[in-house]
Structure 1
């Protein structure tokens, strides 16, 4: 996966491909999809990858995606918290002008 693109966006793109395969009766097993997504996570997600691999409870793909969303949001907030006031102001201005 690309470090410059949202992990969730990349997973959504993968799901679109999987959906197309399902329509052609060439579907993939959920376990294969889960393993593929986990392995393709960016290298700086190493600890989270290990966490996902060692989940002992049987959770749905949807629940795994929720965990990915929460982790990505957490990482964005963590990164944002380390920025200086000036950097935050610049980001805020960019976000408000692009809407």
Structure 2
């Protein structure tokens, strides 16, 4: 802003350099150092107030916060990789969780290939979906994530409808068996009286 950024990128010139350049660097260092220290929190100010060169403060801050960012990225990637779908939990809710993990990854500027994201979702499907997972893996054409999610939601709906129809059929069969057994019981009770 004031032509003083050179103090952030260069070390102090040695004494053999032109006096004007040394004076410019000293001025730039002083202004940058005070500006930088003035925006730090009290805890960080206490740490960096003893530093005489702004470049040392700047390099230390970049190193510290870049390392913290790398740790955060590792944590987000680990969460993404460890995430599992749970049997019995609504698929739509779990897909929303998956979307949130992907969003967290994108906010940290981590890019993953679409094929990887889709394949990992297939891999994370619950154990009861094994046949379906195999069917998806053997497809000739790779599906986009949105197409895959649509496909999974349709499969989930079909499974729920099938389970409901099966339960209704079993209930009807149980009622028929119950009705057949009911008259025999009444004839036995009338014989006893």
* Shorter-chain TM-score range: 0.7 to 0.9
Report whether the alignment pairs 1:73 with 2:157: yes
What's the counterpart of residue 91 of structure 2?
7
Task: Please tell me whether the aligned partners of residues 8 and 69 of structure 1 are also in contact (alpha carbons under 8 angstroms).
Answer: yes
Q: Look up the SS of the partner of 2:167 in the other structure.
A: coil
Post-superposition offset of 1:41 = 1.0
Higher relative contact order (CA 8 A, sep 6+): 1
State the alpha-carbon separation in 1 of the partners of residues 118 and 87 from structure 2: 19
Q: Look up the SS of the partner of 2:111 in the other structure.
A: coil
5+ residue gaps, structure 1: 88-99
Report whether the alignment pairs 1:62 with 2:146: yes
Post-superposition offset of 1:63 = 0.9
Q: How does 1:1-99 map to 2 (within 5 A)?
A: 1-84=85-168
Deviations 1:8-60 (A, max 9, x none): 32122111111121011023222221121111111111111011111112332
**Which segment drifts farther, 70-79 or 11-20?**
11-20
Which stretches of structure 1, 4 residues or more, deviate above 2 A after TM superposition?
Answer: none
**TM-score when normalising by structure 1:** 0.76
Decide which structure has the larger Cα Rg and report it: 2
What's the counterpart of residue 96 of structure 1?
none
What's the counterpart of residue 53 of structure 2?
none
Q: CA RMSD in A?
A: 1.7
